Amino acid sequence: MTLANRILTGDRRALARLITIVENQPTEAIPNLQLLYPHTGKALVIGITGPPGSGKSTLVDKLAKKLRQQKKTVGIIAVDPTSPFTGGAILGDRIRMQDLATDPGVYIRSMGTRGSLGGLAKAAHSAIEILDAAGMDYVFVETVGVGQSEVDIVGIADTTMVTLVPGLGDDIQTIKAGVLEIADIFVVNKADRPGADQVKMQLEMMLDLNTKEIKWRPPVLPTVANAGEGIADLLQGIKKHYRYLHDSGELRARRKARYKAEIMAIVEEGLRDRLLTFWAGEGKINTVVEEVIAQEKDPYTAAFELLGPFLAK
Amino acid sequence: MRERPIRVLIAKPGLDGHDRGAKIMARALRDAGMEVIYTGLRQTPEQIVETGIQEDVDVIGMSILSGAHTHLFPKVMQLLKDNEAEDILVIGGGIIPDEDIPALKRAGLAAIFTPGALTETVIDFIKEQVQK
């Protein structure tokens, strides 16, 4: 029986194993991903990002518990940084999700960012599809910080939540570039602390500055995640956003953009592999590089010469 | 060489709250290039086994300082067997009397590291066993 078939019958070891393959030898996972694809498209994918310590894992834990009360199944992908020096990582998001570990309706997977950011986004995307096919109603993807890698991952979510906390002073400054565009929902966590109202107010003011005609204004929702406060409203916010996505056609548009990007990425990778194999055989690339270094050629001429035989065909 | 990082679950079963050893070990394994899933204190054997399966780890490392190892370690081994996950390498650490070690190994633990063991010894052991 293939891993895909085992996953469809609810085999959690097979699910875990396929995610490992997706992370390590993505090309080997392709036949199984192909088999699973017809079973995807049912899960709502929620990205959650924000500064370290802003309560992302705790929020996911509480949201998952609330969804479980409603008999929904939940997949969670928790991403933590890999050390650029050793390649190792400590993946600690599960500490906040201990009670979910033995719930058969929940599957949690920790991932390190490893070397390449693009690679992570791709692995995370495949992992989401696997969890979707395995029958998860909701899939959460949790990433730390708000940098390029997060924006990449956010690109695979239907709904993106950005978490903030009071007391970081200029944290809105730190996150404002790019974040206003990616957030569908803002969560001001630890809202029982002084300064929460100011954070909310600043966010609302920034949203007011958005003069473009907007169809969805991201709500700014206060929570005290570890006490479970505000979780019901947050879940309502998520569902409301889903209805907006669905009714406005935005869901289809987002998924269309996502699949287009995925297909292009697969095509580019395939071409790249082909070209590299070809050139390695010809041993040509190094010669060309030498010519460029010696300023006998410019990089554009060199690249077009390399592409020559392919463009002609 | 394996092309992927070794994945290790570091878990603290039972009720003792002393996680310094587990944290030092987690850090040392990370620095040795492994992906360490750290789950915090007071884990039940069921939580540990289910986490090990979901995370598809190569190794489960458990630390106990309370004296409950004779009960909890074999329980984890039994649950792994029930879930057809005996291929996961299991090692233990903590305050464990020498006379208890043979029984734990019979239960299926690959190694027991007691106070004084070097982190390098554990790292080498894991690397050697997982390469096999």
Contact A86 B85 (CB under 8 A): no
3-state secondary structure chain A: CCHHHHHHCCCHHHHHHHHHHHHHCHHHHHHHHHHHHHHCCCCEEEEEEECCCCCHHHHHHHHHHHHHHCCCCEEEEEEECCCCCCCCEEECHHHHHHHHCCCCCEEEEEEECCCCHHHHHHHHHHHHHHHHHCCCCEEEEEEEECCHHHHHHHCCCCEEEEEECCCCCCHHHHHHHHHHHHCCEEEECCCCCCCHHHHHHHHHHHHHCCCCCCCCCCCEEECEHHHCECHHHHHHHHHHHHHHHHHHCHHHHHHHHHHHHHHHHHHHHHHHHHHHHHHHHHCHHHHHHHHHHCCCCCHHHHHHHHHHHHHHC
Q: Chain A residue with minimal CA distance to B43?
A: A98
**Residue appearing with tokens 């082909």:** A274
CB proximity B85 to A under 8 Å? yes
Q: Is residue B34 part of a domain?
A: yes
* pLDDT score of B62: 94
> How many structural domains comprise chain B?
1
| A34–chain B nearest CA distance, Å | 22
Give chain B positions within 8 Å (CB) of A89.
5, 30, 35-36
CB proximity A94 to B under 8 Å? yes
CB proximity B80 to A under 8 Å? no
**C-beta of residue B80 within 8 angstroms of C-beta of residue B90:** yes
pLDDT tens sequence across A168-206 = 765 555 555 666 678 899 999 999 999 899 889 888 888
Provide the sign of the torsion angle of the four alpha carbons A263, A23, A115, A91, taken in this order: positive
CB proximity A98 to B under 8 Å? yes
A170 phi/psi in degrees, rounded to 5: -100, 35
* pLDDT score of A206: 82
* pLDDT score of B1: 38
Q: Is residue B20 part of a domain?
A: yes
* pLDDT score of B3: 66
pLDDT beneath 70: ranges in chain A: 115-119, 145-154, 169-180, 211, 281-282, 312-313
CATH code of the domain in which B118 resides: 3.40.50.280
Q: Is residue B1 part of a domain?
A: no
Average the pLDDT over B39-48 and give the result.
91
Q: Is residue B109 part of a domain?
A: yes
- Look at residue B103 and give its three-state secondary structure: helix
CB proximity A90 to B under 8 Å? yes
Report d(CA A242, CA A239) in Å as an integer.
Answer: 5
pLDDT of B82 higher than 80: yes
Reported pTM: 0.89
Q: What percent of chain B has pLDDT over 70?
A: 98
Q: Is residue B98 part of a domain?
A: yes
| B128–chain A nearest CA distance, Å | 17
Which tokens go with B97? Answer: 């009397």
Q: Mutation test of the interface with chain A: which of B29, B38, B126, choosing the one with the most A Cβ atoms within 10 A?
A: B38
- B97: domain range? 7-131
| B43–chain A nearest CA distance, Å | 8
This model of the complex carries an ipTM of 0.89
Q: Is residue B2 part of a domain?
A: no
* pLDDT score of A152: 67
Q: Among A136-140, B66-70, B75-79, which is the least confidently predicted range? A: B66-70
Contact B56 A12 (CB under 8 A): no
**C-beta of residue A257 within 8 angstroms of C-beta of residue A157:** no
CB proximity B119 to A under 8 Å? no
